[in-house]
Amino acid sequence: MVSLLVSCSGDETSKIVKKWDGRSLTISNNLQPLNPKDSSYIALFKDERPKIVLCTDSMRCGPCQLKLNVWDEMIKKYRSSVDFIFVIYPRNRAEILAYSKKINFKYPILIDYNDEMEAMNKLPEDAYFRCFLLDRNKNVLLIGNPTYNDNLMKLYTETLDSLSNSVNK
């Protein structure tokens, strides 16, 4: 069952959550690393660990809105048990690369040059709902970007703690 906790509720939120309940996320095989030295990272897609997948379109969400510094904290805490996949359909690849270097973000960012993630999954229009916590079979457990909502961050953390405990046993 897909969970979502947001400060504002409404019909649109309910529709999105219902649409994703019981679905899995298809990850494109054509994603390219922002930094070529991260090409081995793509092998993680086949790994059967839980994943957080953030899909964004840099036309809707500029690099600073990605909040990579907040993600960095979560990655440090959960990287031993959860894969983090950042997928960007770029307006400006150089801008994203410069931003990730500026904040010293060391985790791979993948570029979706053909916006295949959108085409394959029919992602929600609202950028807030383009973040997914997936179980080991790529089924959606949570939807919503926790970097924009403290309550959702708490739910992600609780779920990740639970997943981490089960993976590390």
Residue 61's pLDDT is: 56
Examine residue 47 and state whether it is found in any structural domain, yes or no: yes
Distance CA 34, CA 90 (A): 10
Residue 111 placed within a domain: yes
Give the CATH number, domain containing residue 84: 3.40.30.10
Q: What share of the chain in percent tops pLDDT 70?
A: 82
Q: Residue 4: inside a domain, yes or no?
A: no
Percentage of the chain beyond pLDDT 90 is 28
Q: What range does the domain containing 38 cover?
A: 11-167
Per-residue pLDDT at 47: 74
Which pLDDT belongs to residue 155? Answer: 94
More confident residue, 134 or 59: 134
Cα gap 71→69, rounded to integer Å:
5
Each residue's pLDDT tens digit, 85-131: 888 887 777 877 787 888 888 788 888 988 899 999 999 988 889 99
Question: Is residue 66's pLDDT more than 70?
Answer: yes
Q: Is the pLDDT of residue 62 over 70?
A: no
pLDDT score for 4 = 47
Cβ-based neighbours of 3, under 8 Å, separated by 6 or more = 17, 141, 142, 155, 159
Domain count along the chain: 1
Residue 53 has pLDDT above 80, yes or no: yes
**Residue at 3 is within a domain:** no
Average pLDDT over residues 3-14: 59
